[in-house]
Structure 1
């Protein structure tokens, strides 16, 4: 159905990739691997999305990177269609209206889809917070690429990161900590946590709707 509405299978896959990864930029060959489409088709659709204004491009280290344009006038409606949502209280049904016949409350909001990586991250244990930065967002402010916070199983955590590195085809710098440790560091304005929160990042899980800005 989406292919009919939006013109092509490649375009739909690109929209899904970009809208599930706000704040993350991709280069062409990386995109072709992730969506498993021919490079000529990918280049053509990237050009179309650029001309519309849905994505932006920026050269870096002899590569041209593409990223969703979060200031695009129709960003929110497209995000609702194609974007995975951060896992937290916002992913639950909220509000509702009363059915006059039954007297029961009807939910007005269906559960929002979560980010595709959230399910994999949870295999590491009880993950309260998960975010990507560094190589994922091309911002080295934090000095790391992935942060996992929660009650984690070390063996399962190692497996998760090994699989993520394989999927991304790169070595990742990752840090884990307990929720208590994260909260304490945030309260005392720990420089490491402050740098992470100040960096460009993509939030995958935020179970407690924590404030993640400095």
Structure 2
């Protein structure tokens, strides 16, 4: 039985994304359509892998009926099973693992605009007390490219990314005015991926 469980857990990149999604968000339930969107996998592949994880007991499926006020979408919801035999070990493994390559992140960030400062924290450093996961300072930042980048990163790390972005002029002003938000970002745990600003 343990061998079968291990085979089911680590046999595909989609499954790794699923593990990150569910183990980083243990209190959330997802419809299949949301799981496909969040992992950015092919629908058939995701359904197959979700069924595999449910078959070994890691995921629970619960059918929910739409309520009269239509506040809840009816359908089959999936969530992680906290009573799964290796739940604690798997969650620890996922939380300790590096969410994504920093070099890869930086290469992609350089394509969304003229980035002068890029800081990571939170989910990227596995710290809970950062103000944001990603902070960008730069000019001519393409919102469309930034949103695509964030969606890709969220699929890879399995969690919604808290971010902030501002133009160089605004950051310069807020930094020298001792803006609380900017100071919080710089004082809390973070790592600089890129710094072209002499005063930071």
TM-score normalised to structure 1 length: 0.45
Larger helix percent: 2
Does 1 or 2 have the higher relative contact order (CA < 8 Å, sep 6+)? 2
TM-score (norm 2): 0.47
